[in-house]
């Protein structure tokens, strides 16, 4: 009685028209018939796409810097942060003459994200100290086999001539926030050691 929505069950005998079933069936048929003229709300996916937010967390991208060198240094913080353990990587040392390819002395020779494991939470992006990994508003394609869902560097690193804009996700505010939180974490770690 608290919600005032309780219904009293009545066990009265059904009237003749109710026992005949036919009026009820006719009204049911009219209801389903009306649905013939209703608009179908389906979005026919591959041809039609739903509008998604510009800060949507979809397929990842590994960014390059202004000169076209990869930003990732294979520090492994994204893999540590990943709650689904979707990220693996191998580190390698930069050789002489590769300065244009990799920004710092260490880089990721293998970088793999398993898109079936990934939950698109964006923690890798938050963990990254080099602004290298970002989630984009692209949707991960469907594949026929499980192995093809493991995206390597060939799919993740952005092409030099086709840069991917992440300014929507990497605003001044987020950079500021990242700096402050990094500072706090370092302070905490230092304090703990003492």
Partner 1 sequence: MTGYIIYQIILVVAIFTVSLVVALYATYGERKIAAILQDRVGPNRAGPFGILQPFADGIKMFTKEEIIPETANGWLFIIGPCIAMLTACMTGVIIPWGGTFELGGTVYSLQVTDINIGILYLFAVVSFGVYGIMIGGWASNNKFSLLGALRASSQMISYEIAMGMSIIALVMMTGTLSLGEIVKQQDDGYCNFVYQPLGFLIFLICAFAETNRAPFDMAECETELVGGYHTEYSSMKLGFYLFAEYINMFISSAVIVSFYFGGYNFPFQHELGLSGNLLTVIQTIVFFGKIFFFIFFFMWIRWTIPRFRYDQLMKLGWKVLLPLSMANIVITGLVMWLTGKIN
Should residue 23 be labelled a site residue for partner 1 when binding is judged by CB under 8 A? no
- Please provide the size of the chain in residues: 194
Indicate the residue among 7 and 34 with the shorter CB distance to partner 1.
Answer: 34
Which long-range contacts link 162-167 to residues 24+ away (Cβ below 8 Å)? Answer: 163/64, 164/61, 164/63, 164/134, 164/136, 166/61, 166/63, 166/134, 166/136
What is the DSSP pairing of strand 133-135 with strand 87-93?
A: unpaired
Q: Which of 4, 12, 15, 33 binds partner 1 (CB under 8 A)?
A: 33
Q: CB 15 → partner 1: shortest distance, Å?
A: 16
Nearer to partner 1, 29 or 189 (CB): 29
CB of 149 vs partner 1, minimal distance in Å: 23
Residue 18: CB minimum distance to partner 1, A:
14
Candidate list 12, 44, 159, 191; residue touching partner 1; CB under 8 A: 44
Closest listed residue to residue 130, CA positions, set 79, 64, 188? 64
Judged by CB under 8 A, the residue of 32, 48, 147, 167 near partner 1 is 32
- In the complex, minimum distance from the CB of residue 114 to partner 1, in angstroms, rounded to a whole number: 29
Q: Of 42, 142, 147, 167, which lies in the binding site for partner 1, with binding defined by CB under 8 A? A: 42
**Residue 29 contacts partner 1 per CB under 8 A:** yes
Backbone angles phi, psi at 92, to 5 degrees: -145, 160
Quick one: which segment of 40-48, 135-143, 169-177, 180-188 binds partner 1 (CB under 8 A)? 40-48
Which residue in the set 23, 28, 129, 152 belongs to the binding site for partner 1 (CB under 8 A)?
28
Distance CA 190, CA 194 (A): 6
DSSP 51-112: ---TT---SEEE-B-TTS-B------HHHHH-TT--EEEEEEEPPTT-TTTBSSSEEEEEEE
Catalog residues that contact partner 1 under the rule CB under 8 A: 25, 28-29, 31-33, 35-36, 38-42, 44
């Amino acid at each position: 009685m608290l919600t005032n929505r309780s219904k009293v069950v009545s066990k009265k005998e059904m009237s003749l028209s109710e026992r005949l079933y036919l009026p009820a069936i006719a009204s049911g048929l009219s209801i389903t018939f009306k649905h013939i003229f209703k608009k179908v709300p389906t979005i026919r996916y591959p041809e039609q796409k739903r509008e998604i937010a510009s800060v949507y967390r979809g397929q990842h991208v590994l960014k390059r810097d202004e000169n076209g060198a990869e930003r990732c240094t294979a520090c492994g913080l994204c893999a540590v942060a990943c709650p689904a353990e979707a990220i693996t990587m191998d580190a390698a040392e930069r050789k002489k003459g590769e300065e244009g390819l990799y920004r710092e002395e260490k880089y990721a020779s293998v970088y793999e994200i398993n898109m079936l494991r990934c939950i698109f939470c964006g923690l890798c992006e938050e963990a990254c100290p080099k602004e290298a990994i970002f989630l984009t508003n692209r949707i991960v394609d469907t594949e026929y086999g499980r192995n093809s869902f493991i995206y390597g560097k060939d799919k993740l690193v952005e092409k030099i001539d086709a840069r991917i804009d992440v300014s929507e996700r990497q605003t001044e505010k987020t950079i500021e926030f990242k700096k402050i939180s990094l500072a706090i974490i370092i302070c905490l770690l230092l304090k703990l050691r003492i």
